[in-house]
Structures are given as structure tokens and as C-alpha cells.
Homo-oligomer: A and B are copies of this chain.
Amino acid sequence: MQVLRGEATRRKPVWLMRQAGRILPQYRRLSERVGSFKTMVQNPEIACEVTLQPVDELEVDAAIIFSDILVIPEAMGLPYEMEKNKGPVFPETIGNAADIDRLVIAGEEGVHYTIAAIKLVKQALNNTIPLIGFAGAPWTIFAYMVEGSGSKTFTLSRSMLYSRPDMAHALLHKITQSTIHYLKAQVSAGADVVQLFDTWAGILSPQLYSVFSLPYLQQICRALQPVPVIVFAKGAFFSLAEIAQLPCAGMGLDWTISPQFARAVAGNNITLQGNLDPCVLYAQLPYVQKATIQMLQDFGPNRHIANLGHGVYPDTPLDAVKCFVNTVKQYEV
């Protein structure tokens, strides 16, 4: 929290995107017993347990609530399924104005199970470390709802931006309003910070991004003030300057962006988060340590939260994850 406010600290804080999940043996055991990802997300006690696992095992400096960005489309009336080895899939997708009309703007309790989980986690943490809430950025949620899944080319979602901008804005508006309600409820329940994941930012041209993503990120950041928001727009190297101008406290960076480039473009009034290549964690431990220290040095002493440049990959060796976390915690700025 101090680093997000721009205050100097003795060492840098560290957490990992996807720290609650398959890297941990205790998660894999629980997941096998429960059998379904969605059940884990929708059961507050289980979601709480999963959220706390990396706090105990890795001793990271923040918890992030265990959930999924696709709970919002589901709350709006478009349910998702999680297919093994394929990822999320929407059996129905959004293709025309009638589809958009049918969607509701989800209210504060649209994702009640995650709100309940946040309350449980908050109580268990007892203010020892902050709790991070999150949601997908409207453009990324839009892309999933139109494509029905991840995609190599995202032609359906991208071409809607060119051919039916009116429809695209109508859908983005509904997503944005739902997301604001959801994140406000997360904050009321105990989230200290929220992160917006714009996973598919990098497939848009700079011009499209400024029309169809940034204004909606801005609406969300504004609505949440004074709660600190971290915007992670993967691949959006072209918009770092604009993101830094949003009313957000932090900006996540993927591993293709050098710390020096990010700081030069973003200026000094924002905290940067990231960005070790998650593939470094497949190397030998001395290499992991060396690369982590290099990354910490490259970001300079202030306004940096250590993290990977992407969610930790599920088959990453636990030893390497621990080496990363401990290297950060032992590094004095």
C-alpha cells in the first residue's frame, strides 16, 4: 500500500499473478477433490482457502482473491464453462444488438460468492497483508463474450469495433457498469486494492485501444477513487503513456517491456508492477536469483512492486517460485 502511494520502503513488496492455483500442491489436492474449477470459485469457503494457500506457503506480501474474470459476463446473463486443457468457453456468444439487449447490468451482488469469499479472507488475514480484488478490463471481457473463447486472431471482436462501433460501445458500457458495481462491492467487503486485467489489450491498434478500452478503464478508476487501482494491459506498449494518465495508482507490465522504457514513458507519478518473464522460473535457481535481482535493479529503488510479467504458469517448479519471492524479500533497496 505504501509503494502504491509512492512512499519509500526498506524493501520491495512481491506477489504473483495466479499465485492461488496450480503451482501449489495443496491447491492441486483440493482441486482434485472438488473436481470443478467453477465450484471452487463459487464456494466462498473453498475460494477463501485457495486464496490463503500462497500466503502461507510462499509468504507473499499480498493475497489476491481466488476467482475468475469471467464471473462478470455470467452475472450479466452469459454463463461460461471451464473446459479441461482448453480454458474458458461460452456456449452462447454476443453477435448482434438483440444479444446485447438481453444482457443485464449486474448489480452489487451480481457475484455474491466472490464478495462472500472476500469477507472470509479479510477476516482470516486480520490486516496482516493487503487483499487484492480484481476484474477483467471491459475490452477483454467484450472479446471473450464475442469470440466465445480465446482466439488466435480475434477477428469477430476486432471487426465489430470497425463495422459496428455503436454496438461495441453499447456492450462495453454494460460491462463497465457491471464491473464498477462488482468492484465497489469487493472494496466494501474488504479489498484494499483492485487490479484490472486487460489481457487482450495487445491485439488492438493504438487507435482502437484509445477508443474502445482506455475510456472504460478511466470510468472504472474514477468510480473507485480513492481506492488504488492497478491496470495491467498486456501487450499495450503503445498506450503506457495514456495508462499512466488514468486515475490509477499502479501499472502492470508484461515481460516484453523493459523497466527503463516503462519508466521513461510513464513518468514518475505511478507505481510500476512486474515483470520477470515467467519462463525464467524454469531455469536453475542461481539463474532465477540473478535474473530477479537484475529486474529489481532495472526498476530502480522506488515505486516498484515485484511480480512476474504474466500469471505464473501452472507447471512452474515451486522451488523456483519460492526463490523468486525470497530473492525480492532479501533485496534491500
Contacts and interface: CB of A to CB of B under 8 A. Distances in A.
Given A159-B283, A205-B309, 20 more contacts: A150-B152, A153-B313, A155-B282, A155-B315, A158-B279, A161-B279, A162-B277, A162-B280, A162-B283, A162-B291, A163-B283, A163-B284, A163-B287, A202-B256, A205-B256, A206-B258, A207-B258, A208-B277, A237-B237, A238-B257
A163 B287 CA distance: 8
A176 to B, nearest CB: 22
Contacts of A235: 202, 235, 256
Contact of A163 (B163, B277, B282): B282
12 contacts: A155-B278, A159-B279, A162-B280, A162-B287, A163-B283, A205-B255, A205-B256, A205-B258, A205-B277, A206-B258, A237-B237, A238-B258
Nearest to A154: B279
A227 interface: no
A235 B256 CA distance: 9
Contacts of A283: 159, 162-163
B238 A279 contact: no
A108 B162 CA distance: 45
A331 interface: no
Q: Which range holds the interface residue count of chain A?
A: 35 or more
Contacts of A287: 162-163
The dominant DSSP class at the A interface is: helix
Nearest to A159: B282
A204 interface: yes
Given A162-B279, A163-B283, A205-B256, A238 B237 contact: yes
Contacts of A237: 237-238, 256
Contact of A279 (B155, B206, B315): B155
A296 to B, nearest CB: 15
B279 A261 contact: no
A280 B161 CA distance: 9
Contacts of A203: 256
Contacts of A238: 237, 256-258, 261
Contacts of A202: 202, 235, 256
Nearest to A311: B153
A237 B265 CA distance: 14
Interface in A223-243: 235, 237-238
A202 B237 CA distance: 11
6 shortest A-B CB distances, which residue pairs? Answer: A159-B282, A158-B279, A162-B283, A163-B283, A159-B279, A205-B255
B256 A162 contact: no
A238 B261 CA distance: 9
Given A237-B238, A261-B238, A279-B155, A206 B163 contact: no
Contacts of A207: 258
Contacts of A158: 277, 279
